[in-house]
Structure 1
């Protein structure tokens, strides 16, 4: 019997991030993530910052613009009702979203939003929603629910530390993002947003905070990271020539159509907020509109069609990805859903109908790119034997055994990254050098080729 083995060092060098955490969630559809892959920063041929996908890489014509919804702050039941598998699936099916942003409360504030889905909690404090600082378990569970639902629907998801003072929450933010990166950082679907909206905090202070949290995330994931900037994310140009340390980092820009302008100057003579973002883009920084509203900056007001059209044109010209505020039924002019909505059925406000029309131009079908994750077989298909008229393959412990013919054996991570390709295998192939986890094995002999899941323990 011939024994094949894999040098442990070579295996470890090949694995990279891919096996730090074996995947266990498989999308139920082919969506934007399967087509575009991991979102990555880059510059076009004119030197302008853009977002691209790992499937095609950084090249003109391959820019990726994804559009969707931002969940409302996770502090009230009229928001958290949509932080659910049903809520995410309904937005995918009814609104055609490509991305969802999960805006998680971080402090100990209590908006008296009840955890049982109503707002009639009386004096039962155990049902009140507070932020991560005092109820980390509840907020983390909410986030995990949204991330898992996004992955199953094959859309992107922004894990948002929704704070105006994140630089004062370094320990909690580092702990939270470390956990998120460990759990979800191997999925191309996931984006990390470190600081929702700084107020008048200087860029130097923001950068110092971001450098620390980025370092923690990069221990586990190379996924896209978004960083906020001064005055509610309206000054990304302040990062020019003083960027956050590391790769694959973009800078957020927020606007509200009635309150902000996209070009020229404000009525008081400052550059328009959009002009600040354009300056950052022109300097080569990748910009991401992780929050925008159809009306006033305080959430109120009525959407102005002309101003919203101009803002949309500006974002489309710059290929800017966006998430609209907000996927909720709170009593605000910028809320997308009316009071009769629920997680399974959406009714739209004036703002929501406007945004739904914008989203209707998103693609309705997607094509899996060549390097996209290979779907993991159903559990019942993860059997220990592969059989054909020409050969048999069995898996036991940490070894494959090919009998009856020679075969080509390929081993992939659950994400689809190829780890090994060996020809003319017959007999036992040791996989002892691989860490415990789930893998995909493809065995070819002649014209017969089959793929099944295996689990190394």
Structure 2
């Protein structure tokens, strides 16, 4: 590639036109300004006391800028009482009626076949992929976060299948700030080293295409988020958090049990979470329930409030199990509900009350756009009829404009630091600018020409 900064390119350039057309064809545009536009890509970091937290790419890692998002987890993608909500209508209804900021898509990963029309990814990858894509794209359109969850208790025995799945997901959706990758749901009684060996391999595949947040499960059904202390997953982007799962009737948020696990001790799950955070690990509650650990029981109001206080104190993001009308005490919906009409159980009403304190409106931050893309224009300003398109691919910024005149090009990193500023006289047509001078990382470029302005989020690898 030439290292000259600017080259004029004829408007009839077939290659450039094809690039622009391809970029815009791949765009999934949000239909509103939601939490993703306000917070940006979620990222791990430490506060001034060294405590692990989650932050947003918009404001960066600084005290007071911690991000907590709250929403629902879909039930395993096998049951008709759950699969109905694996749809654009289902996600949109939860955004509208429950005020969710995040949805978790818990995909069946193995050779499951429950003779009800649905099989796991190992037996029917096409159906499971299509369900996942519906949820991810619905989340992007609603401008909320989405967890792509490899919902397996034995993911370490499915490494190659998992790598293939996450490679496709990262290639297709890793450019969007909405997307979070969860690699291992509730490992059973296996060692942390076993989990880490698996996670290191899958992380390396994802990092070829995306620097988005990754969640990794912890031993004994996500009850030991402190296990990775001193032996974290190998992540070149340093954007991995560890999961804590709890069920309010079965698990405790503070103190210890009157028994002790021979490997992990007797601390409460909440206490273990605090140990992890105080050691600098970021923790994410990707699943929790209002009642018993087996999904049954009746929600205990007092225990649920104590757990909510715990998560709010530590600004822990969460997804409630489950968005379904399965016959379980922790299901949020009653039978008779549909993807466009929700009737709530005791659990659902309790969770809906917690979600009611989420914001009802959002403001897109100045350094953020609705999706993260290396090739897609996102925000357009100005009301004139000029053609004004900006795309980025292969370390090159392409500007197509029917206007001419002084053009300002400003590049910022996600902490708001200016990394490049140029003012150039551009004629109408298609122009190119090399971005080879930027080191690897995530950026926002703002291009202004007269009344026209566009912002694009992109990555340099």
- Which one of the candidate residues 257, 260, 272 is aligned to 2:251? 260
Deviations for 1:268-324, whole angstroms, at most 9, x for unmatched residues? 241112111111111110000000000000000000000000000011111100000
Matches within 5 A, 1:2-81: 5-6=6-7, 23-81=26-84
- Which one of the candidate residues 149, 153, 161 is aligned to 2:138? 149
> Is 1:361 aligned with 2:360?
no
Question: 1:291–1:401: structure 2 CA closer, same or farther, 3 Å change rule?
Answer: closer
Task: Supply the distance in 2 between the matched residues of 1:181 and 1:188 (Cα, whole angstroms).
Answer: 12
C-alpha deviation, 1:430, in angstroms: 3.1
CA contact (8 A) 1:255 1:293 kept: yes
Task: Supply the distance in 1 between the matched residues of 2:136 and 2:402 (Cα, whole angstroms).
Answer: 39
Matches within 5 A, 1:394-413: 400=400, 406-408=405-407, 410=409
Question: What SS does the aligned partner of 1:325 have?
Answer: strand
Deviations for 1:355-405, whole angstroms, at most 9, x for unmatched residues? 000000000000100111167479xx998746xxxxxxxxxxx874666x6
Task: Supply the distance in 2 between the matched residues of 1:332 and 1:160 (Cα, whole angstroms).
Answer: 21
> Is 1:343 aligned with 2:336?
no
Question: 1:58–1:385: structure 2 CA closer, same or farther, 3 Å change rule?
Answer: closer
C-alpha deviation, 1:431, in angstroms: 3.0
Task: Supply the distance in 1 between the matched residues of 2:128 and 2:406 (Cα, whole angstroms).
Answer: 49
C-alpha deviation, 1:420, in angstroms: 8.1
C-alpha deviation, 1:432, in angstroms: 8.6
Task: Supply the distance in 2 between the matched residues of 1:96 and 1:103 (Cα, whole angstroms).
Answer: 20
Name the counterpart of 1:221.
210
Task: Supply the distance in 2 between the matched residues of 1:91 and 1:409 (Cα, whole angstroms).
Answer: 41
Could you tell me the TM-score, scaled by structure 1's length? 0.82
Task: Supply the distance in 2 between the matched residues of 1:401 and 1:153 (Cα, whole angstroms).
Answer: 30
Name the counterpart of 1:444.
449
Question: What SS does the aligned partner of 2:37 have?
Answer: helix
Name the counterpart of 2:374.
none
Task: Supply the distance in 2 between the matched residues of 1:253 and 1:340 (Cα, whole angstroms).
Answer: 32
Question: 1:408–1:347: structure 2 CA closer, same or farther, 3 Å change rule?
Answer: same
C-alpha deviation, 1:161, in angstroms: 0.1
Question: What SS does the aligned partner of 1:268 have?
Answer: strand
Unaligned runs of 5+ in 2: 10-21, 261-265, 371-376, 389-397, 436-443, 457-461
Question: What SS does the aligned partner of 2:50 have?
Answer: coil
Matches within 5 A, 1:155-194: 155-194=144-183
CA contact (8 A) 1:252 1:287 kept: yes
CA contact (8 A) 2:112 2:120 kept: yes
Matches within 5 A, 1:256-295: 256-269=247-260, 270-295=266-291
CA contact (8 A) 1:67 1:97 kept: yes
CA contact (8 A) 1:383 1:452 kept: no
C-alpha deviation, 1:236, in angstroms: 1.1
Task: Supply the distance in 1 between the matched residues of 2:188 and 2:5 (Cα, whole angstroms).
Answer: 60
Name the counterpart of 1:123.
none
Name the counterpart of 1:424.
425
Name the counterpart of 1:389.
none
Name the counterpart of 1:202.
191
> Is 1:251 aligned with 2:242?
yes
Task: Supply the distance in 2 between the matched residues of 1:83 and 1:295 (Cα, whole angstroms).
Answer: 23
Could you tell me the TM-score, scaled by structure 2's length? 0.81
Larger radius of gyration: 1
Task: Supply the distance in 2 between the matched residues of 1:315 and 1:223 (Cα, whole angstroms).
Answer: 23
Question: What SS does the aligned partner of 1:323 have?
Answer: strand
> Is 1:231 aligned with 2:220?
yes
Task: Supply the distance in 1 between the matched residues of 2:172 and 2:341 (Cα, whole angstroms).
Answer: 30
Question: What SS does the aligned partner of 2:194 have?
Answer: helix
Task: Supply the distance in 1 between the matched residues of 2:249 and 2:169 (Cα, whole angstroms).
Answer: 35
Question: 1:441–1:210: structure 2 CA closer, same or farther, 3 Å change rule?
Answer: closer
Unaligned runs of 5+ in 1: 9-19, 114-127, 387-397
Task: Supply the distance in 1 between the matched residues of 2:433 and 2:425 (Cα, whole angstroms).
Answer: 19
Question: 1:67–1:39: structure 2 CA closer, same or farther, 3 Å change rule?
Answer: same
